[in-house]
Amino acid sequence: MTRLADLVDLPRVPLGTAPTPVRRLDLEYRTDVWVKDESAYGDGKWGGNKVRKLEWILGEAQRRGSSTILTVGGIGTHWGLACALYGGDHGVRTVLGLVDQPVDDHVREQLRRLERSGAVLHRYSSSVRLRLAAPYLMARYRPWYVPAGGSHPVGALAYVDVALEIADQVAARALPEPAVVVVPVGSGGTAAGLALGLRLAGLRTQVLGIVVNDLLRLDPESVARLAGRAGAVLRKAGLHDVPTVTAADLDLPRVWLGGGYGVPTPAGTAEVARATAIGLSVEPVYSGKALAAIRDLDDAGELSGPVLWLSTHGPRG
């Protein structure tokens, strides 16, 4: 199997076992829909796309000699929890700037996990208050700042790696070459890395990113710029012929956002129930909205398959 670590000399802390499984998604679609189950990635503490990004983020933190990472998210952040759990195992303390979000049982449980995680928590009522507090947090902890969701050029390398993994699964005939990969977009790093990696792998697959966060700028231009910065990291590391990602490579509709970040939609909640019934690890804020998009587009006859849904949720315990 081709891994990005075999192509470039960049630090990486292995945290999971690849490849994650692919299978046809039996949820009564007219289109041929498959799932790549990223919940299987992560050895023990947490799983999913956050752990993939942390492999590269923690490697870079160690290279920099950074003993503290400052990152941000909602009070139910999966990224922040994964960062605290895995960072603690590798000598990196996590400081979290948390912003209030709509609260349900899942968010309450996440907040309890965060409080037990060993992270240093600072909670704010709004993203504006968090931004105002940022100079204080930087001065107090002298951390390396990593954006929400690990959507840093180094973190995006994780999904360049996953795109290469998808290409290997296509070559092995475990998966037909997808016409489109559907992924929820909360901070942009997964979509940026996929777009870059699919082109690097020589696949024609397009990225359809279902925007689930209205607190960040998540349009094709901004996500393409993040992909460009990830490409620059690869070029600096000696990889030749790195492709250029443009806004045309990304479709990022906001139709399924609903009431905003952290607010479930009825359609998304219904899809969570369907997916849970067949054994998938899903939740309403990310997974549900991506599945609702697939359902609506399939019903409207607007999907041309094969479609690959990237299931990025990955709880443990």
| CA–CA gap between residue 292 and residue 296 (Å, rounded) | 6
pLDDT at 215: 87
Task: Give the burial string for 22-49 (b: 16+ CB within 10 Å, else e).
Answer: beebebebebbbbbbbbbbbbeebbbbb
Q: Residue 316: pLDDT above 70?
A: no
Percentage of the chain surpassing pLDDT 70? 99
In tens, the pLDDT along 200-233 reads 999 999 999 999 999 899 999 999 999 999 999 9
pLDDT in the model for residue 317: 56
- Beta pairing partners, 94: 69
Measure Cα distances from 84 to 59, 87, 89, 93, 160 in Å. Answer: 15, 5, 9, 7, 24
Buried-state track 234-269, b at ≥16 Cβ within 10 A, e below 16 = beeeebeebbebebebbebeeebbbeebbbbbebbe
Q: What is the pLDDT of residue 254?
A: 97
Q: What is the DSSP letter of 288?
A: I
Using DSSP's 3-state secondary structure scheme, residue 7 falls into: helix
Mean pLDDT across the stretch 185-192?
A: 96
Query: What distance in Å separates the CA atoms of residue 238 and residue 109, rounded to the nearest whole number?
Result: 44
Q: How far is CA 313 from CA 49, 240, 246, 272, 281, in A?
A: 7, 33, 27, 12, 6
pLDDT tens digits, one per residue of 23-62? 999 999 999 999 999 998 988 778 889 999 999 999 999 9
- Hey, what domains does the chain have and what are their CATH numbers? 4-48+151-311 (3.40.50.1100), 66-149 (3.40.50.1100)
CA separation for the pair 121, 36 (Å, rounded): 33
Mean pLDDT of 168-191: 97
